[in-house]
Homo-oligomer: A and B are copies of this chain.
Amino acid sequence: MLNKNIETFLGCDNEYGEADIVVFGAPFDSTTSFRPGTRFASRTMRGESYGLETYSPYQDKDLEDYFIFDGGDLELCFGDTEKALTAIESYTTRVLRDNKRPVMIGGEHLVTLGAVRAVARKYPDLHVVHFDAHADLRDDYLGITLSHATVLHRVWDIIGDGRIYQFGIRSGERSEFQWGKEHVTTQKFNFEGLAEVIEKLQGQPVYFTLDLDVLDPSVFPGTGTPEPGGVSFIELLEAIQQVSRLNLVGCDINELSPVYDQSGASTAVACKVLRELLLAMA
């Protein structure tokens, strides 16, 4: 009996039952206002991850020593945002119910909302750590409330004031920054103050959402809205290792758009970031 073709992210080939961490893809980008294409991120990352090793010399850990399951991509429909978010929420709920930790690969940043809905139901005192180039704090975008540009505002609707910690933010409307001052903690441009936040959130359940465009476009050009002036790869790696000291109950990485990554270097970055995140969490 020969086997069907199974494709997982590098080293994430365990069975669901034995896994502690569940990786899955949320290929959705219907609200992307500038350049779409993040729907292809998870599939591309699975294929390209085999250019990496399972072993990390940064952490001296190996993915083969841990139990991680890759559930593949959700089948999300384009053109009905709420339906897509519901599908994400329900998969995440299932994973949480089985006491596993979800790690979602976006898609545009709005997919975070689906996951946070599920996670916040299980952990009402949830906090969110958010790395991004963009504040994503608008209340609506051209009249649309469910949008990549409003996602952190929607998360705030659920978890409320003082629970969101943003780092690396270097783009937004003036009004977003103003609103943010009242409701969230925003570190512009870099990761200054991250250590203090990590300290403060010890013991709390934390959802970590990583928009990869927090990286400088020199490092990560393959994204819908390249925003010059971002952090370096090493700065991000160190920040992730700090974040892993938290009680992470769910994570996502998002906004890789492979169609703008002709050299493949952005996908390699996304894969390596995911490997390091998984190893840090494991």
Q: Residue on B with the closest CB to A135? A: B57
**How far is B169's CA from A94's CA once the two chains are assembled, in angstroms?**
41
CB-contacts of A215-238 with B (<8 A):
216-219, 221-222, 225-229, 233-234, 237
Number of copies: 6
Range for the number of chain A residues in contact with chain B = 35 or more
Task: Tell me which residues across on chain B come within 8 A of A201, comparing CB atoms.
Answer: none
B79 & A144 in contact (Cβ 8 Å cutoff)? yes
CB-contacts of A43-71 with B (<8 A):
43, 46-47, 50-55, 57-58, 62, 69-71
**How far is B263's CA from A260's CA once the two chains are assembled, in angstroms?**
5
A30 & B79 in contact (Cβ 8 Å cutoff)? yes
Given the known A-B contacts A36-B29, A78-B32, are A229 and B234 also in contact in the complex, defined by CB atoms under 8 Å?
Answer: yes
B188 & A142 in contact (Cβ 8 Å cutoff)? no
Sampled A-B contacts (13; CB under 8 Å): A4-B69, A30-B30, A34-B50, A36-B36, A36-B37, A57-B172, A77-B141, A77-B144, A217-B263, A218-B218, A221-B263, A226-B264, A262-B263
B222 & A174 in contact (Cβ 8 Å cutoff)? no
**How far is B54's CA from A229's CA once the two chains are assembled, in angstroms?**
16
B234 & A272 in contact (Cβ 8 Å cutoff)? no
Q: Residue on B with the closest CB to A75? A: B142
Q: Which candidate, A5-13, A113-121, A152-160, A242-250, is the interface stretch facing chain B? A: A5-13
